Amino acid sequence: AERLRERVWTLLGPICRQCGETDRAVLQCCHLRPTGLNGMGRGQKERYRDVLMFPHCYTVLCTVCHPALDGARWRSKKYQMSA
């Protein structure tokens, strides 16, 4: 999983796109568009592989900014209909 993770950071960049946080311990890959790998409970390897296959569907956010985006997005009917 560590090699896949490093490839993801190289591809997307290890920085929160909202606030600029660079501490990798708090950075997460966040869906911008559904890829079929949604929800909690899947493993890190599957997530990293999905990011590498569909990088245009993801961005990097920190643990503070990610929930804020998800809250706004899930309230949007447009996103719910495209999921």
pLDDT at 73: 62
Q: Each residue of 43-62: pLDDT tens digit?
A: 778 888 999 999 999 999 99
Dig out the tokens for 75 from the structure: 């309230």
Give pLDDT, residue 40. 57
Is the pLDDT reported for residue 26 higher than 90?
A: yes
Q: What is the mean pLDDT of residues 50-75?
A: 85
Calpha distance 83→78 (Å, rounded): 9
Contacts 24+ apart (CB under 8 A), 67-71: 68/18, 69/18, 69/30, 70/30
pLDDT for the residue 1: 78
Q: Residue 77: pLDDT above 80?
A: no
